[in-house]
Amino acid sequence: MTDQTTARWAMPLLAPGQAGKELTHNEALALLDMLVQPAVEAVGTDVPPTAPVAGRCWIVGSAPTGAWAGHAGALAGWTDGGWRFVAPVEGLAAWCISSAKPVAYRNGVWQEGDVVAARVVVAGRQVVGPQAGAIATPAGGDVVDAQVRTAVAEILAALRQHGLIAA
């Protein structure tokens, strides 16, 4: 195989005049098969499965053993040719089958179940946006009814602003 690899995923590149180009090409395809729309069996697993099925992937834990030793945090995929490992890069995202949650590599760690967004849009309408300011809690006194009405009006306004109820 060639010593030249792609900058981002370290996939092997064909070299001019290289003999056995199919080996390099097939290795790159095996890595692509793991990286395109990845779905993992579990996140943070340290022990490789004893009877893996080709095409299945895992996110390796922080203290891997056996065939996974030295690949902490990597995406591990079983192929007909054995284990393949891909070191994560910022923004790599996958779906965890066992937890039914999204997983993303952010700030050097895998984060499971977090959805990070500036807003949520449903049917073309924003339903959740940045957090608004606090609404004062009604306090006792002679004008409790007016305070409660003001607080309820502010709650309704916030719900409308976020699109959670109609205006």
- Among 136, 117, 113, 123, which residue's Cα sits nearest to residue 163? 123
Residue 141 has pLDDT above 70, yes or no: no
Q: Please state, in angstroms and rounded to a whole number, the distance separating the CA atoms of residues 161 and 129.
A: 9
Residues 85, 135, single domain; the answer is no
Higher pLDDT: 48 or 19? It is: 48
Percent pLDDT > 90 in the chain is 43
Res 83: pLDDT: 95
* Average per-residue pLDDT for the chain: 86
Same domain, 70 and 44: yes
> Do residues 131 and 101 both lie within one domain?
no
User: Which stretches does DSSP call E strand in the chain?
Assistant: 39-40, 43-45, 57-60, 75-79, 82-86, 93-96, 101-106, 109-112, 120-122, 125-128
Confidence grade of residue 22 (pLDDT, cut at 50, 70, 90): confident
The predicted pLDDT at position 80 comes to 85
Q: Are strands 109-112 and 120-122 parallel, antiparallel or unpaired?
A: unpaired
Do residues 108 and 128 share a domain?
A: no
Q: The pTM is what?
A: 0.71
**In a shared domain, residues 93 and 125:** no
Kindly indicate the confidence band of residue 128, based on its pLDDT and cuts at 50, 70 and 90: confident
Domain count, the chain: 2
What is the domain range of residue 103? 37-112
> Is residue 17, in this structure, part of any structural domain at all?
no
**Residue 167 covered by a domain:** no
Q: Could you tell me the pLDDT band of residue 14, with boundaries at 50, 70 and 90?
A: confident
pLDDT at 51: 95
Using the predicted structure, report yes or no on whether residue 122 has a pLDDT greater than 60: yes
